[in-house]
Structure 1
Amino acid sequence: MPDARIRILSQLSEVRPAEWDACAAGGAARPEPFLAHAFLSALEESGCAAARTGWLPQHLILEGPDGTPSAVAPAYLKSHSRGEYVFDQGWADAYNRAGGEYYPKVQVAVPFTPVTGRRLLLKDPQDPVGRPALAAGIKQLVRLRGASSAHVTFSTQEEWESLAAVGFLQRTDRQFHWTNNGYATYDDFLGELASRKRKALKKERREALGPGITIEWLTGSELTEAAFDAFFMFYLDTGGRKWGAPYLNREFFSLIAQRMPETVLLVMARRDGRYIAGALNFIGADTLYGRYWGAVEHHPFLHFEVCYHQAIDFAIARGLKVVEAGAQGEHKLARGYLPTTTYSAHYIVHKGLEGAVAQYLERERAHVEEDAAVLTELGPFRRCSEDEQD
């Protein structure tokens, strides 16, 4: 591309929000929440994604002759493998034992966010130059920073395939997503389940709200600091148990409430006049993204109600097509969330390590495919041959 160049930004504030978002939207009315300048800059300004936490911003900006960005990629120089949800610690250990240095590495991703989305963000989706230019820029960034590798995680399948064509290794995994097949009510969804599964979910929802618990949906102007104070206590409890130290701080939640309130949904459970549990979600163009959950009281099935059933209720009410309920969790299967493949692409400099990882990934991809097929078969939906009577 004549007269084009790639710049590396050490902070997102070096690019105008409208210019970043035009690339992140890729021709849509607005970008998905996690790709928006408002979200990514909140991570940086709050200190959650910063050098001191091992997430040094190194964003790539492809500029034309007039200096206007035509493509961007959220990139970070990492000194560890935490907060990624695509696990390569085994690769790091093997390389370090062989005398190499795995860190630093380059991560093209949304920090702390295992959500599939575009990572090579083209302003014009039909631009034939932007994607290969960014791929070349990622490799060059690896060389400039003396990194061992680059990892493009939770990409689209199209990006995954295009990166494979320029030397990136292909990796797959699976999550559990719920799909809205045009349901008008939650009961319409239940009608597609096997009788035993349907009855179990009805009972589960009744018992979850039995002890005087009510549910509130908070979004937009309803997202008060008091509500986020309560939610942050839930988040600290869960984060402390899962990761040892939570990735996000209180300031981050205030920033997203201020900058993108229309895309944030808090599902909060209240009992005896106070909040006792909650889940944070983000609202995309056609998808509800479940992110964090926590509680200060234990009640049977409340986790499933707040995180999964209420998310389905909201998606049906808003006409959203998909609920992505986060990473892992085979317990989601019984609640109508089916296996969905996720994709990541990996560029490794050392040929010996690259060869070993390539062999491993070939076996892993086959296992992921087989596992997804088995789990789908075990799902709660009725088989075509079933003729059930309630």
Structure 2
Amino acid sequence: MPLVRVTALSELAAADWDRLLPDDNPFLSHAFLSTLEESGSVSAATGWQPDHLLWQQDGQLLAALPGYRKSHSRGEYVFDQGWADACRRANLPYYPKWLGAIPFTPVGGARVLGDAAASAALLSALPEYLLQHQLSSAHINFTDAASNDLLASQPEWLLRLGCQYRWHNPGYRDFQDFLDTLMSRKRKQLRKEREQVAAADMAFVWYRGDELTESQWDFVYHCYVNTYAVRGQYPYLSREFFSLLAERMPQKIQVVIAERQTQPVAMAFSLVSGSTLYGRYWGCLAEFDRLHFETCFYQGMEFAITHGLREFDAGAQGEHKLIRGFAPQITSSWHYLLHPGLRDAVGDFLEEERAAVLQWADDALGALPYRRGEA
């Protein structure tokens, strides 16, 4: 069978993998995914065992599906713990399962990479792969339109919808140009938030990945870890991840550091493509009123305007983004469950959930602050 399993992306040449990518989404690149592995951030020990699936013919790589064997459901942002609990009560195994996703990253994009016919063949072979390796199910999260079309053509895959929020830049001249599109009350609220931060004597400095020193990366990581510590959780990423990624894809990294009287107090870490800023990690070492909004939202919006980026993806969840101009956007994931009873029950649940998500997204449009309906 042309289906091949690879348990370390280092087994593949970066050029062979990246040749399959349909766009410049940085999270799909060999550099990003291999850095997760080589830094120890994903491994069997962390419950994210690399299990990439390839479709090869005559020694040529035609399609690929980045994936992981999971022993839990943490770090996925598509929540199936309820399904796992139902299996536990019914004495059915749910873990290990197979997941096609970017670890810890709820960013949409292509998932089945490469030639369309080879991609379809790879997906068709996946159910047999699950049986052979005693995996309960396959899940492919945050898919783009092309992947949705491909998965919709496969039998017995179940579609799940979610809702995130994106800020769109139609070509604003500056931040004031954006503010001018808002209703008066909302415009005043955003101005007040920014003024509160400015009154705290904050300055913001942007750095590309290769412009940060190792001591600054220590600060970035300290902030990142603190975000989890305040919730009593362990961070997903290792310290080595940040330095290694800065070596491999420095041009894709943008970090803004908030300084008060020249002392760094907070940061936001982002990646960038040709059209999109992806806000990923935030952290602070001291609490200041409205600092989160300024560092994670308004600084990113200004960066997008300045650099002509059309979209700002500031991360998953967060209805508070609506009043700051981030419009609802439907997300998709797909699920293949081997057990027929579980598949039927989940299918019924997802049918009801899809209707509720679509209604929520439609209602959320009413919370946007634009006076002319721009989004």
Alignment TM-score, normalising by the size of structure 1: 0.93
| Contact 2:55 2:119 (8 Å CA) reproduced | no
The partner residue of 2:28 within 5, 29, 35 is 35
1 CA distance for matches of 2:50 and 2:285? 35
The partner residue of 1:143 within 128, 131, 134 is 131
2 CA distance for matches of 1:361 and 1:164? 15
Q: Which residue of 2 aligns with 1:165?
A: 153
2 CA distance for matches of 1:267 and 1:242? 23
Shift of 1:128: 3.7
The partner residue of 1:114 within 106, 118, 127 is 106
Structure 2 residue 71 is matched with structure 1 residue 83 = no
The partner residue of 1:277 within 241, 266, 269 is 266
Shift of 1:383: 4.0
| Secondary structure at 1:275 match in 2 | strand
Q: Which residue of 2 aligns with 1:371?
A: 360
Q: Which residue of 1 aligns with 2:90?
A: 98
- Which AA in structure 1 matches 2:99? Q
1 CA distance for matches of 2:163 and 2:52? 27
Q: Structure 2: which 5+ runs fail to align?
A: none
Q: Which residue of 2 aligns with 1:48?
A: 41
Q: Which residue of 1 aligns with 2:349?
A: 360
Alignment TM-score, normalising by the size of structure 2: 0.97
Runs of 4 or more consecutive aligned structure 1 residues displaced over 4 Å after TM superposition: none
Aligned residues, how many? 372
1 CA distance for matches of 2:236 and 2:120? 32
| Contact 2:280 2:315 (8 Å CA) reproduced | yes
The 3 A distance-change label for structure 1 pair 216 and 137 is farther
| Secondary structure at 2:49 match in 1 | strand
Moved more, 181-190 or 275-284: 181-190
2 CA distance for matches of 1:17 and 1:75? 17
| Secondary structure at 1:174 match in 2 | strand
- Which AA in structure 2 matches 1:69? L
Shift of 1:209: 2.2
Shift of 1:5: 1.3
| Contact 2:210 2:247 (8 Å CA) reproduced | no
Shift of 1:243: 6.4
| Contact 1:209 1:302 (8 Å CA) reproduced | no
1 CA distance for matches of 2:20 and 2:232? 33
Q: Structure 1: which 5+ runs fail to align?
A: 385-390
The partner residue of 1:222 within 203, 211, 231 is 211
1 CA distance for matches of 2:324 and 2:109? 24
| Secondary structure at 2:76 match in 1 | coil
| Secondary structure at 1:52 match in 2 | coil
The partner residue of 1:133 within 114, 118, 121 is 121
The 3 A distance-change label for structure 1 pair 144 and 154 is same
- Which AA in structure 2 matches 1:115? V
% identity of equivalent residues: 45
Structure 2 residue 172 is matched with structure 1 residue 183 = yes
Q: Which residue of 1 aligns with 2:202?
A: 213
Q: Which residue of 2 aligns with 1:9?
A: 6
| Secondary structure at 1:244 match in 2 | coil
The partner residue of 1:333 within 322, 330, 333 is 322
Shift of 1:329: 0.5
